[in-house]
Amino acid sequence: MATTNRIDYSRMLETWRAVESAGGRDKYIEAQLKEKGYLVERKPTDSMSKAELERYKKSLKEEAAEKRRLAKEAWLAYKAAHLVHLGEGVFWNDQLDHDKWDLPGAEERQAENELPKLDKPKELAEALGVSIAELRRLAYHRDAATKLNYYRFEIPKRDGTKRAIWAPHRKLKAAQRWILREVVERLPVHGAAHGFLHGRSTATNAAVHRDSQILLKVDLKDFFPTVTLPRVKGVFRKAGYREQIATLLALLCTEAPRHVAEVEGKTYYLSLGPRCLPQGAPTSPAITNTLCLRLDRRLQGLAKKLGWRYTRYADDLTFSLPSDHKGKPGVGGLLGGISIIAAAEGFTVHPDKTRVHRSGGRQQVTGLVVNGKQGPRVTREFKREVRAAVHNLAHGKPLKEGETLSSLAGRIAYIYMTDKKLGKQLLAALGRV
Spacing of C-alpha 247 from chain mean position? 12
Q: Which of 47, 64, 81 is the last residue of a domain?
A: 81
Q: Please give the single-letter amino acid code of residue 277.
A: L
pTM above 0.75, yes or no: yes
Q: Is residue 11 part of a domain?
A: yes
Q: Is there a single domain that holds both residue 359 and residue 299? A: yes
The pLDDT value recorded for residue 6 is 55
Q: Is 50 exceeded by the pLDDT of residue 72?
A: yes
For residue 19, being part of any structural domain is answered with yes
Task: Please state which of the ranges 108-117, 186-195, 232-241 shows the lowest mean pLDDT.
Answer: 108-117
What's the rounded Cα separation, in Å, for the pair 185 and 342? 24
pLDDT at 339: 97
385 CB contacts (<8 Å, ≥6 apart)?
411
Clarify whether residues 201 and 305 are in a common domain. yes
pLDDT band at 7 (very low <50, low <70, confident <90, very high): low
pLDDT for res 3:
45
Say whether both 294 and 169 belong to one domain.
Answer: no
Residue range 272-325, pLDDT digits in tens: 999 999 999 999 999 999 999 999 999 999 999 999 999 999 999 999 999 999
- Position 196 pLDDT exceeds 80: yes
- The mean predicted confidence, pLDDT, of the chain is 93
pLDDT bracket for residue 5 (50, 70, 90): low
Question: Are residue 64 and residue 119 in the same domain, yes or no?
Answer: no
On whether residue 284 sits in a domain, the answer given is no
pLDDT tens track for 203-212: 999 999 999 9
- Poorest-pLDDT segment among 252-261, 302-311, 398-407: 398-407
Q: Are residues 245 and 358 in the same domain?
A: no
Residues 386-391 have a mean pLDDT of 94
Are residues 155 and 243 located together in one domain of the fold?
yes
Name the domain count of the chain. Answer: 4
- Which pLDDT belongs to residue 4? 43
Q: Is 280 left (phi over 0), alpha (psi -120 to 50) or beta?
A: left
Q: pLDDT digits over 103-129, tens only?
A: 788 888 888 889 999 999 999 999 999
Q: 322: how many CB neighbours lie within 10 A of its CB?
A: 15
pLDDT at 103: 77
Q: Which residues contact 13 (CB under 8 A, 6 or more apart)?
A: 77, 80, 81
Residue 365 lies in a domain: yes
User: Which whole number is the average pLDDT over 342-350?
Assistant: 97
CA-nearest of 142, 390, 392 to 271 is: 142
Q: What distance in Å separates the CA atoms of residue 85 and residue 135, rounded to the nearest whole number?
A: 12
Say if residue 212 is in the same domain as residue 239: no
CB 15 within 8 A of CB 7: no
Q: Are residues 351 and 401 in the same domain?
A: no
- End-of-domain residue from the set 276, 297, 316: 276
Among 15, 250, 248, smallest CA distance to 123 is for: 248
Residue 95 forms part of a structural domain: no
Does 193 lie in the same domain as 182?
no
- Same-domain check for residues 244 and 158: yes
Determine the structural domain holding residue 211 and report its residue range: 189-224+289-370
pLDDT of the residue at 2? 45
The region of weakest confidence among 88-97, 141-150, 231-240 is 88-97
Q: How confident is the model at residue 159 (pLDDT cuts 50, 70, 90)?
A: confident
In a domain, 123, yes or no: yes
CB atoms within 10 A of CB 68: 11
The more confidently predicted of residues 433 and 244 is: 244
Same domain, 206 and 177: no
Q: Give a yes or no: residue 88 inside a domain.
A: no
* Distance in angstroms (rounded) separating the CA atoms of residues 55 and 49: 10
Considering the chain, what percentage of its residues have pLDDT values greater than 70?
Answer: 98
Among residues 317, 347, 370, which one ends one of the domains?
A: 370
CATH number at residue 219: 3.30.70.270
Domain check: are 220 and 136 in the same one? no
Q: Rounded to an integer, what distance in angstroms lies between the CA atom of residue 433 and that of residue 429?
A: 6
For residues 98 and 42, the model is more confident at: 42
Summarize the confidence of residues 61-83 as an average pLDDT.
Answer: 95
Residue 1 confidence (pLDDT): 44
Query: Is 281 inside any structural domain?
Result: no
